[in-house]
């Protein structure tokens, strides 16, 4: 009975209230092509509202806009570590072409230049394991050892800077070009994702974040996993497609396309130029 009493009965009120908000926002979208910042939910902006053009939304071929509050937006630079894009790091040892992941460096640098000095928050993530590998699943270490021909997570490769994917090692740290500056935040995580095993829930809450502008490597692995998790918890996500890269170009392309399915099943996609343009036009003049 509990179950029955509940269903459809008293819950209609909340559902209808939400669906009214949704209908209203969908109507506004028709007119403005904008996923507007919902002040009914988050309150008035703390920083400045601005829009970024996103592609293939809601349908492939369409252009739309995502509106954010600068003070509640975080620019996320995921795993730009030597291990994923530098010489003798993890990805290099695994035998992949570094140019694919390194391609993200310049666009990310450009975005950092644009957002530094505004009230957009900058968050960097690093994948890595405790020096004793206590947080590294056996199968993860084993598979890396097999594919690395005897050199996997926790091992030091020939000419390497240190143990692969181990915290505190030079190869594990963020590359010099994109190294955090004072005022930026770093999230350390042991997995591809972060929400189930790091302090990222707290960090995003402490910073008051509602929107995530995502970059980093690799597109189909860590970037996609974090974007999926954040999207599941209701964060508005947008990927900068040129500020990311994968170990395989086809996987990169499909990862980008997959986001756009179902009207944006994991969020939206744009590129660094459009985001920088939006930042420059709206936040640079008078900000902070």
Contact positions with a copy of itself (CB under 8 A) in 205-264: 205-208, 220-221, 224-225, 228-229, 231-234, 236, 247-248, 250-251, 253-255, 257-258, 261-264
- By residue count, the chain amounts to 288
| Residue 85 among the catalytic residues | no
Q: How far is the CB of 172 from a copy of itself (least distance, A)?
A: 6
DSSP 92-146: HHTT--HHHHHTTHHHHHHHHHHHBTBS-EEEEEEE-B-TT-TTS-HHHHHHHHH
Question: Which one is catalytic: 51, 121, 140, 189?
Answer: 189
Q: How far is the CB of 116 from a copy of itself (least distance, A)?
A: 12
| Residue 280 among the catalytic residues | no
Q: At what angle do helices 249-260 and 224-232 cross, to 10 degrees?
A: 10
Q: Is 182 in the site for a copy of itself (CB under 8 A)?
A: yes
DSSP 133-147: -TTS-HHHHHHHHHH
Phi, psi of 36 (to 5 degrees): -70, 150
- Triad 55, 96, 89: Cα angle to 5°: 105
Classify 6 as helix, strand or coil. Answer: helix
Classify 238 as helix, strand or coil. Answer: strand
Stretch that binds a copy of itself, among 98-106, 108-116, 204-212, 274-282 (CB under 8 A): 204-212
Question: Which one is catalytic: 51, 85, 222, 237?
Answer: 222
The H-or-E segment that residue 212 falls in is: strand 211-217
Q: How far is the CB of 262 from a copy of itself (least distance, A)?
A: 5
Q: Parallel, antiparallel, or unpaired: how do β-strands 268-270 and 236-245 relate?
A: parallel
Site string for a copy of itself, 67-106 (x = CB under 8 A): ---------------------------x------------
Stretch that binds a copy of itself, among 99-107, 108-116, 172-180, 276-284 (CB under 8 A): 172-180
Question: Which one is catalytic: 56, 79, 242, 271?
Answer: 79
Residues 135-154 that bind a copy of itself (CB under 8 A): 135-148, 150, 152, 154
Total chain residues near a copy of itself (CB under 8 A): 116
Residues 267-286 that bind a copy of itself (CB under 8 A): none
| Residue 237 among the catalytic residues | no
Strand-pairing partners, residue 78, are: 125, 216
DSSP 137-179: -HHHHHHHHHHTTT--TTS--TT-SSSTTBTTSGGGSBPGGG-
Residues 6-65 that bind a copy of itself (CB under 8 A): 6-15, 17-19, 21-23, 25-26, 29, 35, 38, 40-46, 58-59
Active site residues: 79, 189, 222
């Amino acid at each position: 009975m509990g179950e029955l009493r509940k269903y459809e009965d008293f819950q209609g009120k909340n559902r209808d209230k939400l669906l009214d908000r949704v209908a209203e926002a969908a109507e506004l979208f028709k007119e403005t092509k904008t996923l507007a910042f919902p002040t009914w939910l988050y309150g008035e902006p703390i920083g400045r509202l601005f829009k970024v053009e996103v592609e293939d939304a809601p349908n492939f071929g369409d252009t739309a806009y995502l509106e954010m509050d600068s003070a509640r937006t975080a620019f996320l630079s995921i795993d730009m570590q030597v291990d994923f894009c530098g010489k003798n790091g993890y990805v290099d040892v695994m035998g992949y072409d570094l140019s694919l992941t390194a391609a993200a460096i310049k666009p990310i640098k450009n975005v950092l230049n644009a957002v530094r000095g505004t009230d957009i928050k900058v968050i960097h993530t690093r994948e890595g394991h405790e020096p004793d590998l206590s947080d590294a699943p056996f199968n993860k270490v084993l598979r890396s050892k097999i594919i690395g021909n005897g050199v996997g997570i926790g091992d030091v490769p020939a000419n390497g800077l240190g143990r692969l994917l181990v915290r505190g090692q030079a190869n594990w740290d963020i590359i010099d070009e994109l190294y955090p500056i004072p005022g930026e935040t770093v999230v350390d995580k042991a997995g591809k994702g972060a929400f189930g095993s790091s302090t990222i829930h707290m960090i995003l809450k402490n910073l008051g974040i509602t929107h995530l502008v995502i970059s980093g490597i690799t597109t189909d692995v860590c970037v996609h996993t974090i974007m999926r998790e954040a999207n599941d918890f209701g964060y508005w996500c947008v990927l900068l497609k040129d500020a990311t890269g994968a170990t395989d170009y086809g996987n990169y392309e499909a990862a980008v396309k997959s986001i756009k399915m179902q009207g944006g099943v994991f969020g939206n996609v744009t590129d660094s130029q459009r985001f920088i343009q939006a930042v420059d036009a709206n936040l640079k003049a008078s900000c902070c």
